[in-house]
Amino acid sequence: MLDNIRIVLINTFHPGNIGAAARAMKNMGLSQLYLVEPRVFPDEEADARAAGAKDLLDSAVVVSTLDEAIADCQLVIGTSARNRTFDLPIFDAHDCARKVVGEAEHGKVAIIFGRETMGLHNAELQRCNYHVYIPANPEYPVLNVSAAIQLVCYEIWQAHSKQDFIKRDEPYPLTRDMERFYVHLESALRKTHFIIPQHEGKVMDKLRRYFNRSRPERTELNMLRGILTSIDETTSQLADKQETIQSQDKGSDQ
């Protein structure tokens, strides 16, 4: 079950932090490490800090985009300082673990940690269903990234070994299915002229935020896709009709 939980590190600058992350994970029974464009990897300092968790570095999956790292996940959680403007629902590390362990029974879960200096970008936070924060001294709340991973993994181990988790039975769509939905949604909304090329604004960002937050279940997503298909059909019937009218108009001109 813990093998369904992955830790994703984005653009890690210090390879020592990757090693420390691997050790922190293995100490708490986790094994799935994903690295999105690390600055340096593999690296001697990473190996040294990993100590007895070198096997996690050997099996780490290095990818070039966050999307690749989370495509097969049904739950994506981003770490964040509290009170971000981008207001996804937020857990502390303890409740996050109870959520993660409950869902890992059914599918894959990713927890994403950002850069040492600037955390996660907004575009990355938009890929998430929830945020997690670590309760800390408000005068100096910025934890080292491997220390944050240690705490999040510790809470996961606690929730797992005490069997204290939030149970959830409905299956959720994978991230890649959500991405296909967004592509479909955008195309449908262009056809209905809800999105028009001259004034696109941030409408897709806003819709993505809404749907990631509301987290449709798999059957609900199928229903939404059905609605989009019905819109496709309506717009294409409309186009047909307009074509017919135009050709009739041309016919009547002749």
Per CB under 8 A, residues contacting its own copies are 20, 23-24, 26-29, 49, 51-53, 94, 134-137, 139-144, 146-147, 150-151, 154, 157-158, 161
Closest separation in Å from C-beta 26 to its own copies: 5
Q: Please, what is the minimum distance in Å from the beta carbon of residue 227 to its own copies?
A: 45
Beta carbon nearer to its own copies, 29 or 42: 29
- Return the number of the residue (54 or 191) whose C-beta is nearest its own copies: 54
Please name the amino acid found at residue 71.
A
Smallest gap from residue 3 Cβ to its own copies (A)? 13
Other residues' Cβ atoms within 10 Å of the Cβ of residue 54: 17
Cβ atoms of 91 and 97 closer than 8 Å: no
**What H or E segment, with its residue span, contains residue 90?**
strand 90-92
Please give the Cα distance from 30 to 27 (Å, whole number). 8
Closest CA to 73 of 38, 33, 104, 29: 104
Q: How far apart are CA 77 and CA 130, in angstroms?
A: 5
d(CA 88, CA 101): 20
In the complex, the smallest distance separating the C-beta of residue 50 from its own copies, rounded to whole angstroms, is 10
Q: Which lies closer to its own copies via its Cβ, residue 141 or residue 226?
A: 141
Tokens linked to 77: 């959680």
Prior bond of 173 cis (ω within 30°): no
Closer to its own copies by Cβ: residue 54 or 215: 54
In the complex with its own copies, which residue's Cβ is closer, 31 or 187? Answer: 31
The minimum distance between CB 137 and its own copies, in angstroms, equals 4
